[in-house]
Every structure is written in structure tokens, then in C-alpha cells.
Structure 1
Amino acid sequence: MNIDATTMLGRLADEQDTYEHGHDQPLRGYLAAMAVFAGGTGAMSVLARATGRRLPDRVALTDVILGGVATHKFARLLAKDAVTSPVRVPFTQFEDAAGSAELNESARKDGELRHGIGELVSCPFCLAPWIATGYVAALTFAPRVARAWSSVLTTVAISDVLQHVYARIRTE
């Protein structure tokens, strides 16, 4: 059976329409983001092998805990912090202030790639796998830097909790 490119693209468009069921889903943008993630992960693996480095057989529990807290904090800084909003501007639209120096933003809808990236950069849950993968890569290539980075962000996250506790105690 011989299918030409136009027919295949038409079928893919039909599948996307059926999947979206009237909702705007930037599937091409998501696909591009997944390709970049997979390509970056693959490139790090090739670089590790070429330089004689190996991923650790296991990651120490302290690195997992520090990395988890640091990933959470860094994801929130990138996705929600008012100070980092200039990085998100090409892909998001300001909605309103969310408190604690955070913003609510929505992904721009003018183009699937822009929309997909907007959803990624404004969602701490979506950014976390990217950040965590970078952290594990940093543990492979520069463990001292990775641990310093995770220690700083974990310290900031603990400070944030204390700020909220203090504010609550002061108002009661």
C-alpha cells in the first residue's frame, strides 16, 4: 500500500482533531518539547560515554532529598516567580498575582510551539522532570557543583517555609 505525504498529513490532522475533541491542544509543541528532552538526554549520555563518565549505579539518599527539594524550588522559581517572568514573556500571558511573589500566567495561544513552550515554562510540575534530569546529569559531570546548587535551593525552600510560618504566627 503506497501512501503519499499529503495523505499521511491529512490522516494525522484527522487524528489530532479527533483527539482534541474541540479543545485546543498544542500537540506539535508538546512533540517538539519531547524531542528536545529526548535529544538532550541522549546527548548527555553520549557525552558521558565519550568522556569516560558513567551515571552512578545509585544516587545517595541525601542527593535524592536535596535534589528533590531543590528541583521543587527551582521549578517554582522558573515557572511562577515574578522576577523570572521576563524569561516567560514570549510564551505566556500575565493573568494575576498569586501571592508570595508568584504570578499566575497562561500559555499564549498564537502558535502550537509557542503554546506548548508556554505550558511547559509556566508549570512547575512540567519543568520538574527537565530540572531533575539536569541535576542527575550534573551529579555525573560536576557532582560538587550539583550538590552546591541543590544545597542553595534547598536552603531557600526551607527559608520560604519559615517565612510562611512566621507570617502566619504574626497574624494570629
Structure 2
Amino acid sequence: MTAETGTAGQADQTWGRRLATAARRQSQAYGPERSLRGYLGAIAAFAAYSVALAATARATGRRLPGRIEPLDLVVGAAATFRFSKLVSRNSVTSPLRAPFTQYAAPGGPAETLEEARGSGARRVIGELITCPFCVSVWAAATYTAGLALCPKATRLGATGLTVLAGADLLQLSSTILTDAATRERD
């Protein structure tokens, strides 16, 4: 090891320590109940997932679609909505969330509201999987990549979720109408 290499290595370590110290200070100033480090980990995980999807497309020789059909956008939006609610709120999927969450209250029909528990990565995962908006980001990325990687299977799965979203809308509408009719009789 030369003096120059040693000095460069020390400078890198010093820079790294300063960066880590600044990040700790920033996280503490932001609020101790929030894990900026955990959120950075979530961002890194999403970036890695996106890179893996792109690498898979490249390795399999898949080309990006020339254009996305309007129906794919509508079906994709409905499917992403329904999938995110299924993952983040449905009662039946609560055992999958349980390691990261705790029950807080009943939600809408067939839904539970949960709170993230623990600290660090466990808490961040709990926050992400109880947030339908957060789950939607991952679902939309998966749907979009699916249109390039395996469009037939993606459209079939999205169609099923869209039909489920439509059935939910009809169920909720029926419940609202029935409740309104009951209130009028009383």
C-alpha cells in the first residue's frame, strides 16, 4: 500500500463517516418516530426490483411495447387499485401482514385497519404493506413490466382483479341502497 492509496482510503473513510453522521443528524431532526434509513432501504429495494424487471426484459429479448392500449390503462388502474386493497386492507390477508402490523380497528366491509409495529425495517415494511397507495406503486410497476414480459398472463390476471373491483363496487352500491331503504322505512 502506497502513501497515496492509504491517504485516498482514509479520505474515503472520513467522507463515509461524515456522510453517516450527517444522515443520523438529519434523521433525528426529521423525527425519531420516522425511519429515514428504513425508507431509504425501501427506495433501494424498489430500485433493485425495477432494475431486475428491466434486466429480465433485456435478458429474454423482450421489447417495450410501441404503445399502450387505452383499455390496458383502464384495466391496469382498476387491477392495481383492487390488488393494493387486497394486500393492504383485506381481512383475509391479515395473517400475511401480522408479522409487521397489529390490529387497530375494523375498516370498510371485509377490511381491517392495522398499525405498523416494531422499529427499523420491520416498522417500514408494516407502514408500506398497510398503505394502499404504497402497495399501488409496486403493483403498477409489476403490471407495467408484465405487459412487456408476459402480456397475455398479465392481462388475464388484471382482468380478474378488475372484475373483482367491479363486483366490489356493485356490492357496496347494493349495501348503500339497502341501508337507505331501511332508514326510510324506520
Answer whether TM exceeds 0.5 for this pair: yes
**Structure 1: how far apart are the matches of 2:57 and 2:17?**
41
Given candidates 11, 20, 23, the residue that maps to 1:12 is 23
More off after superposition, 67-76 vs 135-144: 135-144
Question: Is residue 149 of structure 1 aligned with residue 157 of structure 2?
Answer: yes
Runs of 4+ in 1 over 3 A off after TM superposition: 4-8
Name the structure, 1 or 2, with higher relative contact order (CA <8 Å, separation 6+).
1
* SS of alignment partner, residue 107 of structure 2: strand
1:65 corresponds to which of 63, 71, 74: 74
The C-alpha deviation readout for 1:53-99, integer Å capped at 9, x for no partner, is: 02223211100100000000000000000000011011111001113
- The CA RMSD measured in Å over matched residues stands at 1.5
Greater helix proportion: 2
- Unaligned 5+ runs, structure 1: none
2:84 equivalent in structure 1: 75
Work out whether residues 27 and 116 of structure 1, in 8 Å CA contact, stay in contact via their aligned partners in 2: no
1:166 to 165, 171, 174: 174
Paired positions, count: 169
1:99 to 98, 108, 131: 108
Q: Which amino acid aligns with 2:121?
A: L
The range that moved more, 73-82 or 47-56, is: 47-56
**SS in structure 2 of the partner of residue 99 of structure 1:** coil
Provide TM-score, normalisation by structure 1.
0.92
Q: Which residue of 1 aligns with 2:127?
A: 119
Structure showing greater radius of gyration is 2
Q: Contact 1:27 / 1:112 at 8 angstroms: preserved in 2?
A: no
Q: 1:135 — aligned with what?
A: 143
Mapped to 1, the partners of 2:44 and 2:122 lie a distance apart of: 15
TM-score of the superposition, structure 2-length normalised?
A: 0.86
